[in-house]
Chains A and B, each alone.
Chain A
Amino acid sequence: MSSGPLGGVAGVLLALATRLAPTERAEWIEAMRAEVAYLPEQARLRWALGCLVTAIKLRVTPMQTGSLRINPWIMVLESLVCFGSSLIACWIFTFGDLGVLTHDFAPFERYLDGVLGVPDAQMVIWMLYGYAVCSLVGPVGMFLGLRYALLGRGLRNRVLGYGLIAAAIAVSFSGTLSNFWIGKGDWSERIPLIVQFTILPAAGILHLMYLGRRAAPAPGDARLTPA
């Protein structure tokens, strides 16, 4: 690689391409990088730009064609979106204002029973315990998402995966049920909460399960041993 400014830019572009390209195509980006050493000086920058374009195409094309394999750092963002709300909810239902470990529910039960006239206030309290357990999908999902981002390991344990999805569904189910119980049964108000606490976490877990599948090697992509 040239030590001139254009060579420096080409080097940066090639390094960026290597970072962007999916792992399963790393050999091809390496091939493009190696080719630079054989190019005339004036062709190198253009070649490096082509290498970056190729890496971007390789990154974008699977997204268009439905492959859900993503760059680990995108998983950090996805984890925040999918599990952030449940993580906060888990904290609230465990240690916060409605925390089952820190709160005295006796006055709350009297309020439900006496002021709101809820038929079975004790049941609502038990639902709060249910929330605390089911919203564990937040911290567990966040942990799994960050583990994928750092180590590239998806969720291989199917039982855990389906258990977490069931927990996410249970959050909305019990929440909706308790809402009707208290007497504020309006579906339209529940939809954002269902998205936030069930659909997004369940989608995140399904994605992690997908990422945990063993990937089949791409046909024709086997690296041949140098002669």
Chain B
Amino acid sequence: MDEPRKWHHGYELTKATGLLSGTLYPILMRLADRGLLEHKWLPSGEAGRPPRHVYRLTASGAEHAREQFDLADEVGTTAAGTVSRA
């Protein structure tokens, strides 16, 4: 979310999220199906290597992600308040 409009490749995303490829890619597909993620093939700069599939959030995807983060913060704050009052 630091750079939501930057293109990222799959391996980079698995490292950033800690998800395995078998978990990450179905999520990417669902996000793309819902119009929250865009993807394209980026030609390799090195000879003999295939084009690479890269991903980034769409504008609505970034907006949705921000809403989810805000919601998570809100829930976290409420939960922390409840715990401290108890």
Asked if A and B bind, the verdict is: yes
Chain A contact residues, CB within 8 Å of chain B? 25, 27-28, 30-35, 37-39, 43, 46-47, 49-54, 57-58, 61, 218-221, 223-227
Given known contacts A219-B33, A220-B35, A226 and B11 CB-to-CB distance under 8 angstroms: no
Given known contacts A34-B53, A58-B26, A50 and B9 CB-to-CB distance under 8 angstroms: no
Report whether B53 and A35 are in contact in the complex, using a CB–CB cutoff of 8 Å. Answer: yes
Given known contacts A31-B53, A49-B22, A38 and B11 CB-to-CB distance under 8 angstroms: yes
Report whether B21 and A51 are in contact in the complex, using a CB–CB cutoff of 8 Å. Answer: yes
Expressed in whole angstroms, the Cα–Cα distance for A57 and B35 within the complex equals: 21
Report whether A54 and B35 are in contact in the complex, using a CB–CB cutoff of 8 Å. Answer: no
Residue B43, interface by CB 8 Å:
yes
Interface size on B, residues (CB 8 A): 29
Given known contacts A220-B32, A220-B33, A226-B40, A28 and B25 CB-to-CB distance under 8 angstroms: yes
Report whether A35 and B9 are in contact in the complex, using a CB–CB cutoff of 8 Å. Answer: yes
Expressed in whole angstroms, the Cα–Cα distance for A58 and B35 within the complex equals: 19
* CB-contact partner of B26 in A31, A43, A57, A223, under 8 A: A57
List B residues 1-50 near A (Cβ within 8 Å). Answer: 9-11, 20-26, 28-29, 32-35, 37-44, 49-50
Given known contacts A50-B21, A226-B43, A38 and B52 CB-to-CB distance under 8 angstroms: yes
Task: Identify the interface centre among B20, B34, B53: most chain A CB within 10 Å of its CB.
Answer: B53
Given known contacts A43-B11, A50-B22, A223 and B49 CB-to-CB distance under 8 angstroms: no
Q: Which residues of A contact B9 (CB under 8 A)?
A: 35, 38
Given known contacts A50-B22, A54-B21, A57-B26, A35 and B40 CB-to-CB distance under 8 angstroms: no
* CB-contact partner of B49 in A37, A46, A50, A225, under 8 A: A37
* CB-contact partner of A32 in B25, B33, B44, under 8 A: B25
Report whether A35 and B52 are in contact in the complex, using a CB–CB cutoff of 8 Å. Answer: yes
Given known contacts A34-B50, A35-B10, A38-B9, A224 and B40 CB-to-CB distance under 8 angstroms: yes
Chain B: which residue is nearest A29 at the CB level?
A: B25
Q: Is the interface of A mostly helix, strand, loop or mixed?
A: helix
Given known contacts A38-B49, A219-B35, A227-B43, A54 and B11 CB-to-CB distance under 8 angstroms: no
Q: Which residues of A contact B34 (CB under 8 A)?
A: 219-220
Chain A: which residue is nearest B49 at the CB level?
A: A37
* CB-contact partner of B20 in A27, A37, A50, A226, under 8 A: A50
The smallest C-beta distance from B16 to any residue of chain A, in angstroms, reads: 14
Report whether A50 and B25 are in contact in the complex, using a CB–CB cutoff of 8 Å. Answer: yes
Residue B76, interface by CB 8 Å:
no
Q: Which residues of A contact B29 (CB under 8 A)?
A: 25, 28, 58, 221
Q: Which residues of A contact B28 (CB under 8 A)?
A: 28
Chain B: which residue is nearest A224 at the CB level?
A: B40
Given known contacts A220-B35, A220-B37, A37 and B25 CB-to-CB distance under 8 angstroms: no
Question: Can you list the 3 inter-chain pairs with the closest CB atoms, starting with the nearest?
Answer: A50-B21, A53-B22, A31-B53
